[in-house]
Structure 1
Amino acid sequence: MASSNFIKNVAIVGAGGNSGSHMTKFLLETGKHNVTAITRADSKTKLPPGVNMKQVDYADPSTIVEALQGQDALVITLSTFAPPGQQETLFKAAADANVSWVLPNEWSPDSTHEGLIRDAIPFNHMPDARKKIEELGMSSYIAVSCGFWYEWSLAIPDAFGINIAKREATLIDDGETKMSISTWPQVGRAVAALLSLPIQPEGGDQWRCLDRFRKRNVYVASFTISQRDMFESVFRVTGTKESDWKITHEPAEQRYKKGLEDMKKGDRSGFARQMYTRVFFKDESGNFEKRKGLQNELLGLPRENIDDATRAAEQRQKESPWA
């Protein structure tokens, strides 16, 4: 539990992963935090200098409680395919170790949107996860809604329908539906800035404090864009024009339903299509900048260049987009 008005000790699950590594980097750069990576004993993940490491055994929750002793905050980043119950084990350990703040494994589009949570299968559990933290009664959650990861998602053709390598694209409806989305570095900056805020207001500024976000969602983004905006960036990055591409159109609801059917048959591409297509429905579920507003300015987040992020996605698609 924090002994001052600021968080000092931060534990991260997934500190060496795609998103967690950026959170770790920017937390360290603040110079305000001691960062501890919570890892399995058999983990081979490389961690940056300055990160403490505590090895745990998920079959023995007491090892996690011990690792979390003295931590002010726990940040959880887990794969969509993490074992069932793993996050709940972390919640219970955090409560037993008196960790005051938990950032659960959301890192997603708006997890308070009823239609999105109902229809996009990977998001179904998120309200229950937040409820579990509250029921345990020790920690307070802050859920970070950041949209999908841009450089990860654009690299997967079945996600946003753009296959950079093959010069093929499927535009969902007219390709103009806007959604909020983030790069990994932007969310790393957001987490570092968020956990550097005073817990209680200081200096008469009632807005810049963690208590403002206690048991709430924080909304951040790199861009609020459409498929067409992504496509235009891809043109610039690849030096191509629309006539160089094979372009088809597909209604959002049709693509979503087909994705569900394919997923039930064990097709991994169906999993991606149903999840991503849901944010392109006309209910604006993906555009939380419009519906909820962003905390980018409060957290001091920079404006980013979409073409730089698109270059990163192009490189990932050449290598291993699912890694």
Structure 2
Amino acid sequence: MSLTIQPRRITLVGATGSLGSQVLAALLAEAANHQVSVITRPGSTHVFDERVKVHRVDLEDIASLTHCLKSQDVLLMTLSPESYGKQIPLIHAAAAAHVPYVVPTEFGSDPTHPQLNREIFLAEMQRPFRELIQELGVSSWIGVVSGLFFDFNVRNGFWGLDLRNHKVRLYDDGNVRISTSTLSWVGTCLARFFAMPDSFIQQYRNDWIFISSFLVSQREVWESAQRVTGTAEADFEVARINAKEAAVVAKKGMQQGDQTAVFGLLFALTFQDGYGSDFQDRVLDYSAMGLTAPSLDDIVSGLAEECA
């Protein structure tokens, strides 16, 4: 059976960030040939692909934002944490412009998991924005659960695998498997999701889509690194961290005002069983979307080449 895809008019906010740039690239590469626009600040000097319609407007100016969003099918936001509040005027503008779908900045851990929500406030940070979309009663929100960003966290040393210096930091035995996504896979899935027929997309109105490149443990990623680099376990310096103790330390740091401690808590919880990190049974049906998830070894090989 052939796959039916269609172009949509999609406006992206946050297109120059780590995730946003990957989403933009995927939207432009999508076979459905989406009509892509970006909204960016007036002072931005970033040069975009000539296929992108660029709106340089004040992100607080609802009237201007509404004009930019006229006739659009999707408003997709990939904002940094310090810019979350910018979503409010954008959501109001989307409603005024009658945009059918709004994707708020929802990327990350499963916000529907009760035990995770009891432990960490990150999962609840976006609730006001979802509620605002529903209160306005025009657009529907679609939240994205992607797990930890795999490549971003490996590059920045948060995953516990230092490819350049051959060091590994494992939570407990390193065998807890989690659903995790590369930045580019999130972009690919969103670009194809919004190329699907309306009947497919409407299943997820005011709901979540779950995206995962692979279900994998720290130890499995380490083994992949050994395969693609021709190294052995003995070539790595290994440290082990008690995940429960690390969570306690992170909570104390948060109580003392350390704003970065929340990320330590997130990782300590993610690599424990029982915090919703394995959501493979809820991921999008990639075959129905004509997609094939990436290979772990291919991704790790690319990351290793970056560190060479």
Task: Work out whether residues 76 and 103 of structure 2, in 8 Å CA contact, stay in contact via their aligned partners in 1.
Answer: yes
1:239-258 aligned at under 5 Å gives the runs 239-258=230-249
Task: Work out whether residues 9 and 74 of structure 2, in 8 Å CA contact, stay in contact via their aligned partners in 1.
Answer: yes
Per the alignment, do residues 46 and 253 of structure 1 end up closer, same or farther by CA in structure 2, a change over 3 Å counting? farther
Counterpart check, 1:186 vs 2:185: yes
Task: Work out whether residues 144 and 217 of structure 1, in 8 Å CA contact, stay in contact via their aligned partners in 2.
Answer: yes
Q: How far apart are 1:234 and its partner, in Å?
A: 2.1
Paired residue for 1:216?
207
Task: Work out whether residues 16 and 46 of structure 1, in 8 Å CA contact, stay in contact via their aligned partners in 2.
Answer: no
Instruction: Render the CA deviation track for 1:278-301: whole Å, top value 9, x for unaligned.
Output: 2122205110114x3443222222
Task: Work out whether residues 209 and 283 of structure 2, in 8 Å CA contact, stay in contact via their aligned partners in 1.
Answer: no
Q: How far apart are 1:46 and its partner, in Å?
A: 2.9
**Tell me, which stretches of 5 or more residues in structure 1 are unaligned?**
201-208, 319-323
**Tell me, which stretches of 5 or more residues in structure 2 are unaligned?**
none
Paired residue for 2:67?
66
Give the distance between the partners of 1:166 and 1:121, measured in 2 at CA: 34
Amino acid at match of 1:281: Q
Q: How far apart are 1:25 and its partner, in Å?
A: 2.4
Per the alignment, do residues 242 and 293 of structure 1 end up closer, same or farther by CA in structure 2, a change over 3 Å counting? same
Paired residue for 1:236?
227
| Alignment size in residue pairs | 303
1:88-237 aligned at under 5 Å gives the runs 88-157=88-157, 159-200=158-199, 209-237=200-228
The range that moved more, 247-256 or 136-145, is 247-256
Pick from 294, 300, 305 the counterpart of residue 295 of structure 2.
305
Give the distance between the partners of 1:197 and 1:68, measured in 2 at CA: 21
Paired residue for 1:49?
50
Q: How far apart are 1:264 and its partner, in Å?
A: 5.5
Per the alignment, do residues 284 and 263 of structure 1 end up closer, same or farther by CA in structure 2, a change over 3 Å counting? closer
Counterpart check, 1:24 vs 2:24: yes
Per the alignment, do residues 114 and 284 of structure 1 end up closer, same or farther by CA in structure 2, a change over 3 Å counting? closer
Per the alignment, do residues 81 and 317 of structure 1 end up closer, same or farther by CA in structure 2, a change over 3 Å counting? farther
Give the distance between the partners of 1:276 and 1:35, measured in 2 at CA: 34
Amino acid at match of 1:68: L
Q: How far apart are 1:263 and its partner, in Å?
A: 5.0
SS in 1 for 2:288: coil
The range that moved more, 25-34 or 48-57, is 25-34
Amino acid at match of 1:220: I
Paired residue for 1:77?
78
Per the normalisation by structure 1, the TM-score is 0.85
The range that moved more, 15-24 or 99-108, is 15-24
Q: How far apart are 1:142 and its partner, in Å?
A: 1.2
Amino acid at match of 1:75: L
Q: What is the root-mean-square deviation of aligned Cα atoms in Å?
A: 2.4
Give the distance between the partners of 2:47 and 2:253, measured in 1 at CA: 36
Instruction: Render the CA deviation track for 1:232-286: whole Å, top value 9, x for unaligned.
Output: 1222334322212221222222112223334555667634322222212220511
Amino acid at match of 2:225: V
Amino acid at match of 2:170: L
SS in 1 for 2:82: coil
The range that moved more, 259-268 or 305-314, is 259-268
Q: How far apart are 1:50 and its partner, in Å?
A: 0.4
Give the distance between the partners of 2:22 and 2:56, measured in 1 at CA: 20
Q: What percent identity do the matched residue pairs reach?
A: 29
Q: How far apart are 1:173 and its partner, in Å?
A: 1.8
Instruction: Render the CA deviation track for 1:136-171: whole Å, top value 9, x for unaligned.
Output: 1110011121212211011222x2222333332221
Per the normalisation by structure 2, the TM-score is 0.89
Instruction: Render the CA deviation track for 1:117-145: whole Å, top value 9, x for unaligned.
Output: 34334332133322221111110011121
Amino acid at match of 2:23: M
The range that moved more, 45-54 or 58-67, is 58-67
Amino acid at match of 1:168: K
